[in-house]
Amino acid sequence: MSQRVNTQSVNIRKLNKRTTKQGGMTFIEVLIALVIMVTGILGAVAMQATAKKGSFDAMQRSLASSLGQDIVERMRSNDATTLISYKGANYGEALGAPVPACNAIAGCSSANMITNDIYEWEMALMGANVKNGTNNVGGLVEARACIDVVNNSEVTVVITWEGRTKTKSDLYSADCSSLKGERRQVLVEAFIY
């Protein structure tokens, strides 16, 4: 009988040892899991910030392209012999005085239409047509533009603005300021007859 009791007590001890070997996660395992989880969360946050910067830059480039096409279409709708009147290298530096509303239906002269086109285009370029309090918020960041007309038919519109990150190249446009650091550029070329 004592043999049987000894065997039972040995079996109970073995069973107790098996159940006490794995009692849950250790502190080291929990710390490793937390480090992995925090690294993943920080990576996701960094990815979101990078995507937001890229989205802003893409929106600015799209707006610049649209503004370049807008002024070219305004030039096309006016008299082709007056294209040289659109030429300028300082658009976006300072918005001129408001001009009386002028459109083709009201019977404006070609010169009045050019003045109106440039004023409305420059307002859109600088964001002056969308305000938050007294701040312009609808245009490009630190926008500058130039329009060059050659042979009264070849039109080049250069629009530059401040990007969010630095670029590696030092582009230069003869009509606009040199582009260094964070400046971006869109160039629109057209023939108008």
- Interatomic CA distance for residues 3 and 106, integer angstroms: 118
Using the Cα atoms of residue 31, residue 36, residue 37 and residue 41 in order, give the sign of their dihedral: positive
Rounded mean pLDDT of 5-25?
A: 60
Residue 184: band (very low, low, confident or very high) from pLDDT cuts 50, 70, 90: confident
At residue 174, the pLDDT reads 47
- Whether 139 shows a pLDDT value over 50: the answer reads yes
- How much is the pLDDT for 83? 87
Determine the distance from the C-alpha atom of residue 114 to the mean position of all C-alpha atoms in its chain, rounded to a whole number: 30
Q: What is the DSSP string of 83-133?
A: GGGG-EEEETSS---------GGGT--HHHHHHHHHHHHHHHHHTTTSEET
State the residue for tokens 């446009």: 173
Share above pLDDT 70 across residues of the chain, in percent, rounded to a whole number: 74
Average pLDDT, the chain: 79
- 98-138 pLDDT, tens per residue? 676 676 566 778 888 888 888 889 888 888 777 777 777 77
C-alpha to C-alpha distance for 111 and 115, rounded to whole angstroms: 6
Distance of CA 75 to the CA centre of its chain: 27
Phi, psi of 95 (to 5 degrees): -80, 130
Question: What DSSP designation does 171 have?
Answer: -
Q: Confirm if 49 and 152 have CB atoms less than 8 A apart.
A: no
DSSP 20-58: HH--S--HHHHHHHHHHHHHHHHHHHHHHHHHHHHHHHH
Residue 141 is given by DSSP the state T
Residue 164's contacts (CB-CB under 8 Å, 6 or more residues apart) are: 53, 56, 57, 182
CA 85, 59, 185: angle at the middle one, nearest 5? 45
